[in-house]
Structure formats: C-alpha cells, structure tokens
Structure 1
Amino acid sequence: MAEPYGESPLAARAEALADASVPATLTLSEVAFTTQVTLRVDPKSPAAERIGTALGVMLPNQAGQVARTERLLVAWLGPDEWLLVAPEGETEQLESTLTDALGDEHGAVVDVSAHRTILQVSGPKAPELLAKGCALDLHRRAFGPDSCAQTLLARTGVLLVGRDAEPPSYWVFVRASFARYLADWLCDAAAEYREP
C-alpha cells in the first residue's frame, strides 16, 4: 500500500523564498501544515465563555484582535467568527474541544486547514516590503503584535497577522491557489534589499 504523501502549496518555492531573504534584514518562509479551524458562535452566549475556558484564552471581542496561548492563535474575523491556528496534527483535538464546549448551542466548527497556507515575513524591512502591496498602515503603533486584518496584498485576498514587534514579524494567510503567485510577488518585491 502506498504511503500518503502531502506537499505544501509552497514546497516548490522554498528555495526561492530562502534566496530572497536577506540576513538581519528580511526573512521569507512558509509555515506549512498548520491546523486551522474556523469557529462561528454568538460571542455573548454561554457557549463562547465555555469555549474560552476550554481553550485557555477568551475569544477576541474587538475587530482586528488576536489572542494567543503557547500553542494556539485565535484571530478575530468578524463579529461572530474566528480563525483558530494550532500546530500540525491537532485538528481532531481542537475540533473536539470546540464542539464539546459549543454543546447544543447554535454555532459551527469547520476544519479549513487545507484552505490556506501561511507565509512568514519578518525582519526590520518586513513592514516596508508588505506596504508595497498593502494599503494598511503597518507601523507598529497602528498594526502591532496581536493585530489582524483581512486585506489585499498584491491584489490577493489575505489575512494578515502581526506576530512580533522586534524584529517585526507577520503571518500572511493566503489561499493555496494564490500562494505561489504571492510568494513570487514577495520575492520580486524583496529584490531591492539584496546587495548588488
């Protein structure tokens, strides 16, 4: 019997991303095969409180907020929608935790792990690079760590998450079908940071 095999959307671009990176200035890489689950629930319901208790972090209740634990990131997507991101292999456990906490209340828990991949953009020039294709103000006072926004980057719909302040670090969630295009765009936009 053949062994199951999976390849990340950017496996073919790993070398190009590494080559486009500039030590101490800019790093481009893929964060592949994460667990990603969307949650829909009324934020004022008892279920939302039970879910927060079960996860060890309350669901963010303001637009653009991110909550984190050591192994989990919860990004606000809408008034009653969140994206939960955990390490690879934790999908069943996360879905079970959410479903149990949701109980009989109205809501939805959906595995979307195969929908998107993550491009990590970090380093002192990361905000400048992203600003070339994104209209958001990425200054750390406006969009710092634990911030998120659904926006366009190089005409591609993405979820942008601020990870760290120093050096600046971002996760760019992009649909698998657009991942190679966006990786190529980032590599091209990063060319000016490489020494001639």
Structure 2
Amino acid sequence: MAETALTAPLRSPLAQVADRLAAATRTSGGAIRLAELPFLAQLNVRLDAKGAAAAAVGLALDLPLPLQPNTVVRAGELTALWLGPDEWLLVGPPGSERDLESRIREAAGEEPVSVIDVSAQRTTLLVTGPRAHDLLAHGCPLDLHPRAFGAGHCAQTTLGRAQVVLVSRDEPRAGFWVLVRSTFAGYLADWLLDAATEYV
C-alpha cells in the first residue's frame, strides 16, 4: 500500500543534511555544534498585552508572556518569544500544539485572541559552542556580543540573507536557536556549514 501524507512518517526539513551537521560538529573539536531540533510545537499568539487575556494565558501556561521587546521567557519545556507589542511565538515540545492551543483559548475566554499553529512553517537549528557568536556574526547584521544580545533575547533578523528568528538561550553555554522557514532550511544549513569551515 502506498504511503499518503497521513500515513507517511514525519520527515524533518533537514533530514538530508543531519549527517553533515554532525560531521561538522565532530571535526570542529568542540568549537561549533550544529544540530536540528525538529518538530517543535510553535504557536503564533496575538492578543492585547494589557488586557485580561494576557494575564490569564500566562497563568494557564505557567509562563508569563514577555512584555519587553525582543525578550524571551522560559518555564520548563515552554518558551515564549516577544515578536511585537501584541504578538508572541510560543515554542513547546513536539506534539504539544493542540494542548497548548486549547489551554490558551480556554484561558482567554471571551477576550479576543488569535492562536495559529505554525509548527510546520519553521524548523529550528541549534548553534552552540565557543565560536557560535563568531559563526553567526558572519551573516547576521545584529551585534551578537553578549552585552548587546545576551541570554534571554530574541530578534527577527536575517542570517545569510534568510529571514530567521534568532534566540539567545538562557542556560550557560546553551548557544542559539535559529528558527527558519522550512523552505529556506536547507539553504541556511548549507550556509552555516560553509561558514563553519574555518573552525573544522
């Protein structure tokens, strides 16, 4: 029987380069680590940041929505990224999309809220290691020095001409998440691998 879209196993956008990412990590001597974090739940949430729904959603998720521009709040397996004055990206473990959406809608009640599952829209690249800042600085216009873009910050920017959401992780030596549209993921992985050649 032929596989259909409903029965075929999930295939990540970067499955074809996983071996190359792992090889670059091995040969860099620990300077760079590149890996895909596939299938993370990603929900775009829009609501009035000053309304009752924002506080209610934060309580329901046990994760207050960040109100400072370009900041990140993390609690357990959930991460909320500030994308705009009334817009956030909620990132959670794979398969949690429906549960998170249900909790958000229930908490918001009658308040206006928009919750869109964008999990299939992007994949996530993990970039860590002592040279992670240097690697990303090759193609990102932001000042990535920890004083300017330290732990707990995020930004919508470009990397190697691809639009990304860049997240500076909050754990020690945790590096960066690079959230990129699935259609550009292969291109960006190739760009990162090429830029990393001086460290491998």
* Aligned equivalent of 1:133, options 136, 139, 143: 139
In the other structure, the counterpart of 1:58 is 64
List structure 1 segments (4+ residues) > 3 angstroms apart after TM superposition.
1-4
Instruction: Go from structure 1 to structure 2 and tell me whether the alpha carbon gap of 1:36 and 1:125 turns closer, same or farther (over 3 Å shift).
Output: same
In the other structure, the counterpart of 1:46 is 52
* Aligned equivalent of 2:17, options 13, 17, 30: 13
In the other structure, the counterpart of 2:123 is 117
Counterparts of 1:87-166 in structure 2 under 5 Å?
Answer: 87-164=93-170, 166=172
Q: Say which SS state the counterpart of residue 84 (structure 1) adopts.
A: strand
* Aligned equivalent of 2:184, options 169, 178, 182: 178
Tell me the TM-score normalized by structure 2: 0.94
Shift of 1:167: 2.4
Name stretches of at least 5 consecutive residues in structure 1 with no aligned partner. none
Whether contact under 8 Å (1:124, 1:168) holds in the other structure is: no
Please report the RMSD computed on the Cα atoms of aligned residues, expressed in angstroms: 1.2
Q: Say which SS state the counterpart of residue 169 (structure 2) adopts.
A: strand
Tell me the TM-score normalized by structure 1: 0.96
Q: Say which SS state the counterpart of residue 198 (structure 2) adopts.
A: helix
For residues 168 and 113 of structure 1, the distance between their equivalents in structure 2, rounded to whole angstroms, comes to: 22
Identity %: 51
Shift of 1:102: 1.3
For residues 92 and 165 of structure 1, the distance between their equivalents in structure 2, rounded to whole angstroms, comes to: 27
Matched residues, number:
194
Per-residue CA deviations over 1:156-187 (Å, capped at 9, x if unaligned) read 10000001464250000000000000000000
